[in-house]
Amino acid sequence: MWDNPRLLNWAAGVLCACALAAALLGAGAALMRSSAFPLNTIRVVGDVRHVSVAQVVEALQGRVRGTFFSVDIDAIRSLFETLPWVRCAEVRRLWPDGLEVRLEEHVPLARWGRERDARLVNTYGELFRGREETVLPVIAGPAASEGSVARRLVEFRRVLAPLGLEPRSVMLSARYAWQIDLSNGLTVKLGRDREKDDVTERLARFVAAYPHTVARLERRLEYVDLRYPNGFAVRVAHGKRT
């Protein structure tokens, strides 16, 4: 080896590269520990309507540690995602002394349950806590069914649109039977999904028949029962049937 110039040059090059890498790693570690690059600003961007400055300050107060290079980005993201209206957060370093945080807020679709402190359901069918003054439809169902009930709310809203009616509530019972309360005060009992006849198809047939049937009745209706295979029944006020 010692009398082979090519091999000696190769070995020297490897040693120099290792020394340079070690020096760079040492410099990087020193830079991470250095206070020469303090973290001074956090910039929040995104379509933020419900998250206030006070909430951000309270969430971060005393919990942001490190410099521009050493701050834990994942920890900052987790802190922002503890805020009630934040669905997700993305954090990146913003040279020379800041962070940029892009927030995605929940978009409320409905209220979950009839309780006074009912939670909200977003457009992804996810539950979250937050105060919302806008009137929203109410949906409810068995535990962990919020996603499927939210999807059905969207389907029912689309099917009812030609009538100019809106679902005010959508309920899924413990026996997985569906019921809708409409904006005109009418209750629609849809029953359970069947293999060749799901409740959305049942509702679509009712919407097609509505202008020629229910809309022509002059009596106030209590509910419409769509659980029949070849038609539907209506119940008028005071217990009389039509």
- Please indicate, yes or no, whether residues 203 and 112 belong to a single structural domain of this protein: yes
The pLDDT score that the predictor gives to residue 235 is 86
* pLDDT (mean) for 182-204: 93
The pLDDT score that the predictor gives to residue 201 is 94
Q: What's the chain look like in SS3?
A: CCCCHHHHHHHHHHHHHHHHHHHHHHHHHHHHHCCCCCCCEEEEECCCCCCCHHHHHHHHCCCCCCCCCCCCHHHHHHHHCCCCCEEEEEEEEECCCEEEEEEEECCEEEEECCCCCCEEEECCCCEECCCCCCCCCEEECCCCCHHHHHHHHHHHHHHHHHHCCCEEEEEECCCCEEEEEECCCCEEEEEECECCECHHHHHHHHHHHHHHCHHHCCCCEEEEEEEECCEEEEEEHHHCEC
The pLDDT score that the predictor gives to residue 241 is 44
The pLDDT score that the predictor gives to residue 231 is 83
- Please indicate, yes or no, whether residues 76 and 130 belong to a single structural domain of this protein: no
The pLDDT score that the predictor gives to residue 19 is 44
The pLDDT score that the predictor gives to residue 196 is 83
Residue 217 lies in a domain: yes
Indicate the number of domains in the chain.
2
- Please indicate, yes or no, whether residues 166 and 182 belong to a single structural domain of this protein: yes
- Please indicate, yes or no, whether residues 115 and 232 belong to a single structural domain of this protein: yes
pLDDT for residue 203 is more than 50: yes
CATH number for position 88: 3.10.20.310
CATH number for position 201: 3.40.50.11690
- Per the prediction, the chain carries an average pLDDT of 85
- Please indicate, yes or no, whether residues 117 and 189 belong to a single structural domain of this protein: yes
Residue 14 lies in a domain: no
217 pLDDT tier (thresholds 50, 70, 90): confident
Of the listed ranges 18-27, 84-93, 95-104, the one predicted with least confidence: 18-27
pLDDT in tens, 28-85: 444 455 566 799 999 999 999 999 999 999 999 999 989 999 999 999 999 999 999 9
pLDDT in tens, 115-142: 666 799 999 999 999 889 899 999 999 9
The pLDDT score that the predictor gives to residue 24 is 42
pLDDT for residue 14 is more than 60: no
Residue 197 lies in a domain: yes
Residue 2 lies in a domain: no
pLDDT for residue 9 is more than 60: no
Domain boundary among 105, 121, 149: 105
Residue 67 lies in a domain: yes
* pLDDT (mean) for 220-242: 78
86 pLDDT tier (thresholds 50, 70, 90): very high
Domain that holds residue 150: 108-239
Higher pLDDT, residue 159 or 18? 159
The pLDDT score that the predictor gives to residue 12 is 47
